[in-house]
Structure 1
Amino acid sequence: MTSRNTLFLYSTTVSDTGYVRSNNQDSSFAGERLIAICDGMGGHAGGDTASTIAVRSLAHIEKDPGSPQSVGDVASLMETSVIAAHDAIVGKAKHEHKLAGMGTTVTAVTLVEDHWVLAHIGDSRAYLLRNGRIIRATKDHSYVQHLIDTGRITPAEAKNHPQRNVVMRVLGDFDIDPRPDISVRKAQAGDRWMLCSDGVCGVLSDETIRETLETVTNPQDCAQRLVGMALKAGSTDNCTAVIADANIPLDPGEPGQRHQIPLVAGAVSADLAPLAGILGTTVAQAPKLRDEYAKSPAQKAAELAAAQSGADAADSRANAASNAANGYGSDAEASGNTAGGGGYAASDSADMGESDDSDSLDGHAHVVDKSVNGADVDGGSDAPTDGADGQSGDEPEETPNIAVPQSKDPAAADEIMPDTSEIPIVKKRDGTVVSDPRDPVVAVALAHKKAQDHERHRKRLHMKRGVVIATIIVIVGIIAGVVYGAWHWSQSQYYIGESDGYVAVYQGVNTNVFGMEMSHIVRSTKISVSNLSENTQQQLQRGVTMSSQQEAEQHLAILITESNENRTQKEREAAASASPSASASPSSTASASAANSANVSASPSASASASPSASASGQGAAQ
């Protein structure tokens, strides 16, 4: 069985751009159930967007759930909301490329069932002051903290380390686990929380923070003092602080009754309407940093010099007027001093004295609930009072920036729902506006939105695919047209070349494209290439280009004539080379005759010598 809180948070916040940065990328939230600090990063356009998305994603936790919630449920809800913020930041970066690389830290504390539930990721910090003792409730997810944990450097060395601003875990457009550290502790009346960005805790020691939290009881004064001290200590970053006190309300009122108006500061305060729509209640911009802290030393010196110059001029004019009075000046001066002295005394009293109840619980609630930077949100009383920033009632008050939900503003009934990036805002049938990712109505809307996004993505892919296919078809068509045009032109060309040792007429050009011949034979001849001159043979190897087939036929006739002449010439040369052999045959005959004569003259002896043998042989045979 769960029970409602017996404690309520009275919180406030202050955020300042600082002396160095050009824009404020921090965002903070101060409510009665939720406090949060988000330190954005990612360039001029990204850091403020990321921290704003994170605060809007967490803001629904501030709403009264209507029924008691367990600590476990709220812890799970905070983790889910932080992850939803991460998804929203990533989705925003994908849709807007100029925001690529943006991210933010998140440190948030929720009060439920008189327990503190803390969600933390990044290097922002949460301090808890309890019974005069300060507790650092978070651990920095930074590179220097990793070096400290591994014993490579000391905490003192980390203060001036060149990579002290490098974070290792953060929400955003990075490949990093977005799940936050979740811790739970019992709440006590009198607990004071301080959440701050590294622009504050990076230059102030824990002891300085503890002393300030303990001695400056007014939450707004405490936040102003801490941010101002950080700037004076030389902080070069945005400086933001959230101060929250846990107290028992003097008048609990009805269940769900608000004890203060939620305050926001930093980048998220640029547009309060989305938060007012999410919470269903009025949201106000937190007081700005007072001039005594906001102005740099150079600005203060210039103003002091100008004021001194003006005072000297006023004294000169007063002396001149007194001398011109001729005797009446002493009485006037005495009267003036009396009135002036009373005025100065009253002014000093107003400057030096503080309201008796400024640090009491009732005065505390009035400062946070009713006054925003010295202005009464609900109209206030007719009596002049000092503003929350300590300025006298005679000075002009700054008009607070306040937003009311559309359901409470009839003039805004027809306006478009505020944009909270990737987390849809749903208006229920009862008129309430919710953005809790765990609300069934929001879950249905989120699923519908995802389905629409998927369908749009599918259509974009289909369109891109169609464009690619059409482009390919066009390119192929152009190539085909070029090839066909080249082929068609080639078919109007002719040349004479060689084919298997004979002259042939070709239609086309003597080349090939991607292995495809751009010509073919239209007439073969019996003109042997060997019967042509060597010069003509070389021309035929290269191809003799003709403008038409008729011209090719005419040139072919020339080649036929040349071939016939060359063949006739070769035959004559062959005949001429054969005639000298025939005229040389008589001498051969004479030689043969002489040889025969010699043979005849030698034959008698041969016959004589051979005859007896032959006779003898004949006789022997006869016998």
Structure 2
Amino acid sequence: MVFQGSSAAISHTGKVRSNNQDSGYAGSNLFVVADGMGGHAGGDVASSLAIARLEALDQPYSATSEAERALRDAISDAAGELSDTVRIRPELAGMGTTVSALVMVDQYAVIAHIGDSRIYLYRDGTLTQITTDHTFVQRLVDSGRITPEEARYHPRRSVLMRVLGDMDTEPEVDTFIMPTQPGDRWLLCSDGLSGVVDDAHTTKALAQGLPPGRTADILLKHALDGGAPDNVTIVLVDVGGQHPVFSGTATIVGSASNPIGIEVPAARSGRSGWLHPVRQAANEPSHFEPAPEFLEELIEEDRRRARRRRLGWIVGAALAILLLAFAVFLGYQWTQTRYFVGADEDTVVIYRGIQQDIGPISLSTPYQDTGIPLDDLTEFTRAAVEQTISASSLQEAQRIVASLADSTGASG
């Protein structure tokens, strides 16, 4: 049966790159995000070819197993087409694309995924990442070597371990089937969104319950406000719900929306990089798929970074402890310049330090037992001494004691 719900697709170049290598598709049953890689032309071609190959899957399926098999076959065919394209145009070697695809079959979502674009499910106020990134840093997270927060800012976060490319005609694709229900919101996005907008802001946007198109606009604005260093593509799918059902016309965005997007482009003049270095830098690949022999080098690099990070923490902690100890020492030295007059069991005593204690540690010590009996003091004066009388210096403390001695003589 045809999927009952509503959807929207939107794609933006972002604030840094000069062309959009992303592609997105929202149809009647099929929803896809593809994030191209491989330079100015290669990424465009790769993501467009992937969408063109998958577009034929936008139809009702009688069983989820049929849809899952169709997704696997279509993605494998797309890999073969990328290889054929590179044989025609060798300068496009190394191009590739991520693919995150969703096919709705009755009350189930059939998912296929390769790369670091993502599929999220928003249900009952909770946002859950459904797919797992096929990246170097995700391996580090899975092994417990870094945290998910550290992964967001890791310098190798764009290193892909799996991608739909021209080098592998039998790509390893994750496929699985999940039940879905009315009220679910499925979000497919390139890392231009997920790498900039955190889960809290994404959840807040989805929780407003606005139509998919308006929600996608809000998410895009968050990415642009965050700098949008990469292309941003968003496909949002609502299952059931209060908004109008899908109209029947597919929405294609990004590179695949260009009628000539899947054509192999002519070679670009080498002068453009010299004339426009900033634009050329903006067209550098947003992802990198390492050669197998480079993986060990990456792992060793991360080990060195981890060792430096641990050493930094140790040095920082040691410096903090030293600074704290020095501050405590200076504070204690200052207390030893202060004096006050107090009492022991039966006489008036001059103390050095301050009246406060830090737990079991006293910040004062007896400096001089004056020998003046507490019993010789008036009731008021004795109470004042027992509560302590502060003095700014030893001389002032001695003057206070002399005054107390005079008062006992007068009373005698």
- Under TM normalisation by the shorter chain, which class is it? 0.5 to 0.7
1:71 matched to 2:64? The reply is: yes
Q: Which residue does 1:125 correspond to in 2?
A: 118
Name the CA distance, whole Å, in 2 between partners of 1:146 and 1:250: 39
How far apart are the structure 2 equivalents of 1:271 and 1:85? 18
The answer for the alignment partner of 2:143 in structure 1 is 150
Q: Cα distance 1:208–1:247, how it changes in 2: closer, same or farther (>3 A)?
A: same
* Alignment partner of 1:247 is 2:240: yes
Residues in 2 aligned to 1:53 and 1:122: alpha-carbon distance in whole angstroms: 16
1:9 is displaced (CA, Å) by: 3.5
Q: CA deviation at 1:273?
A: 10
Separation (CA, whole Å) in 2 of partners of 1:241 and 1:81: 22
Q: Give yes or no for contact 1:169–1:176 (8 Å, CA) kept in 2.
A: no
Compute the displacement of 1:160 (Å): 1.2
User: 1:93 deviation in Å?
Assistant: 1.0
- Rounded to whole Å, the distance in 1 between the matches of 2:244 and 2:96 is 41
Partner of 2:206: 213
Q: Partner of 2:26 in structure 1?
A: 30
- 2:82 is paired with a residue whose SS is helix
The aligned residue for residue 45 of structure 1 is 41
Summarize the Cα distance change of 1:97–1:250 in structure 2 as closer, same or farther, 3 Å threshold.
closer
Structure 2 Cα separation of the partners of residues 248 and 238 of structure 1: 29
* Shift in CA distance, 249/203, structure 1 to aligned 2, threshold 3 Å: closer
- Paired with 2:44 and 2:261, the residues of 1 have a C-alpha distance of 17
Which residue of 75, 90, 95 maps to 1:102? 95
Matching of residues 487-506 of structure 1 within 5 Å: none
**How far 1:54 moved relative to its partner?**
0.3
What letter matches 1:164 in structure 2? R
Is 1:271 paired with 2:259? yes
Q: Which residue of 2 aligns with 1:173?
A: 166
Residue among 181, 190, 205 paired with 2:183: 190
Superimposed CA distance per residue, residues 372-409 of structure 1 (whole angstroms, 9 cap, x where no aligned partner): xxxxxxxxxxxxxxxxxxxxxxxxxxxxxxxxxxxxxx
User: 1:8 — aligned with what?
Assistant: 4
- Pairing 1:159–2:152 present: yes
Aligned equivalents of 1:249, 1:200: Cα separation in 2:
26
CA RMSD of aligned residues (A): 2.2
TM-score (norm 1): 0.41
Are residues 219 and 178 of structure 1, via their aligned partners in 2, closer, same or farther at CA, if it must alter by over 3 Å? same
Structure 1 segments, 4+ long, off by >4 Å, are 248-252
CA contact (8 A) 1:8 1:249 kept: no
Equivalences, count: 263
SS at match of 1:12: strand
Residue 229 (structure 1) shift = 0.6
Higher relative CO (CA 8 A, sep ≥ 6), structure 1 or 2? 2
Q: What is the CA-CA distance between 1:61 and the residue it aligns to? A: 1.1
Superposed, 1:553-564 pairs within 5 Å as: none
User: Which amino acid is the alignment partner of residue 264 of structure 1?
Assistant: I
Please give the secondary structure, in 2, of the residue aligned with 1:141: coil
* Residue 225 of structure 2: aligned partner: 232
Distance in 1 of aligned mates of 2:140 and 2:243:
48
AA aligned opposite 1:43: G
Give the partner amino acid of 1:109.
L
| Residues 463-478 of structure 1 mapped to structure 2, 5 A cutoff | none
2:76 maps to what in 1? 83
Alignment of 1:531-610 (within 5 A): none
**2:11–2:231 contact (8 Å) kept in structure 1:** yes
Which is richer in helix?
1
SS at 1:245's partner residue? strand
CA distance in 2, matches of 1:132, 1:32: 26
User: Which letter maps to 2:4?
Assistant: F
Q: CA distance change for structure 1 residues 167 and 222 in 2, over 3 Å: closer, same or farther?
A: same
Whole-angstrom CA distance in 2 between matches of 1:154 and 1:176? 33
Instruction: Work out the CA distance in 1 between the residues paired with 2:6 and 2:52.
Output: 20
Q: What SS does the aligned partner of 1:72 have? A: helix
Task: Give the structure 1 partner of residue 14 of structure 2.
Answer: 18
CA distance in 2, matches of 1:214, 1:147: 31
What are the ranges of 5 or more consecutive residues in structure 1 without an aligned counterpart? 253-257, 275-623
Give deviations 1:331-389, integer Å, cap 9, x for gaps.
Answer: xxxxxxxxxxxxxxxxxxxxxxxxxxxxxxxxxxxxxxxxxxxxxxxxxxxxxxxxxxx
Q: Matched residue of 1:45: which SS?
A: helix
Q: Structure 2: which amino acid aligns with 1:245?
A: D
Partners of 1:214 and 1:248 in 2: CA distance: 13
Query: 2 CA distance for matches of 1:110 and 1:85?
Result: 17
- The structure number with the bigger radius of gyration is 1
Which residue matches 1:583? Answer: none
Deviation (angstroms), 1:246: 1.1
2 CA distance for matches of 1:111 and 1:157? 34
Give the Å deviation of 1:175: 4.5
Distance 1:92 1:188 in 2: 40
CA distance in 2, matches of 1:250, 1:205: 26
Gaps of 5+ in 2: 263-412
TM value normalised by structure 2 = 0.61
Q: Secondary structure at the match of 2:49?
A: helix
Change in 2 beyond 3 A, CA 1:248/1:22? closer
- How many Å apart are 1:204 and its aligned residue? 1.2
2-structure distance, mates of 1:158, 1:262: 35
Q: CA deviation at 1:155?
A: 1.2
SS at match of 1:23: coil
Amino acid in structure 2 at the alignment position of 1:271: P
Would you say the 8 A contact 2:6–2:244 is kept in 1? no
How far is the alpha carbon of 1:145 from its aligned partner? 0.4
